[in-house]
Amino acid sequence: MEQPGQQLVLVSQLQDYRQSPMAERTSSAVVAKPSTLSSSGWHRGPVLAPWPTREIVGDLSDDLHGRATAICVIPWGPDPLVNAWLRTRRAVSVTSGSVYPEADEPLLEPVVEAAMIELGQLVNHANSLTTGMDKAFAVHTLQKLHGAGYRWNVDHLCGWALANGFTGAEEDRLKTYATKVLQGSPFSPQPTDPHSPGAVERWRAQASQPPA
C-alpha cells in the first residue's frame, strides 16, 4: 500500500479476501478476479496477489506485463507451478529480504532449458501454441528432447516458461503437450517437424557454453 500508483489486489475468490485481515488494510485498492480485471478500472500500479492460482500466475506473467509496477504474492500451500515460478523469478521475501528457497538451483536440465529458450524465440506468443507452426515447434521440441533421453518435471517446465516470456494460455497448452510426450501419447494429427536436422546437438552445444 506504500507503493506509488493505483493499487490492485488480484484474487481468485472475493469472499476469502473479504473475510481476511487484508480487506481492511487494503480498502483503498482495486480488488478484482482474473475474470473481472478488464472491467475493474485498474490500469497500472503495484499488485498484491494473495493465494495465487495457476490462472493468476499466468495473468501476472502476461496480462499485467508492463502494467504492474511491483508484484507481491502470498503463496498458500505447496503449489508446484507457483513455487517454480517464484524460484525462476528469484522472488525476494518482503519480511527477511532472502531470495526464494532453491532459486539458485536449476529447474530444468541445461539442454532442456536451451531447447525451451530457442522455442520461446521461434513461436508467436500471441497464438497460444495452437496454430500449426507454433504447435509443431512446441511438440517436436519436446519429442526430440524425450527421444534423446531428456526428462522434465511438468510444473517446473511450465513455471520456467511463465517466468521467461510464455503466456498463461501457452502454459496451459505446454502442460498438455509436455505431459503427453512424457506419457508417450500420440498427437492426432502429428504436426510436421519444422526443425532443421541436428536440433538436439545444437541445444547440447548451447547448453555447454559458459554463461554470458
pLDDT digits (tens, 9 = 90+) for 6-44: 999 999 888 888 888 888 889 899 999 988 988 999 999
Residue-wise over 26-40: b if at least 16 C-beta within 10 A, else e?
Answer: beebbbbbbeebeee
Question: Cα–Cα distance between 1 and 109 in angstroms, integer?
Answer: 39
Give the chain's domain count. 2
Indicate if 125 and 197 belong to the same structural domain: yes
Beta bridge partners of 31: 9
| Range(s) of the domain holding residue 127 | 110-208
Last residue of a domain, one of 57, 77, 97: 77
* Residues 125, 41 share a domain: no
Query: Quick one: pLDDT band at residue 212, thresholds 50, 70, 90?
Result: low
Task: Look up the pTM and report it.
Answer: 0.85
Amino acid 37: pLDDT? 87
Q: What pLDDT does residue 117 have?
A: 97
Summarize pLDDT for 131-183 with one digit per residue, the tens: 889 999 999 999 999 999 999 999 999 999 999 999 988 999 999 999 999 99
Domain match, 47 and 124 both: no
pLDDT band at 59; cut points 50, 70, 90: confident
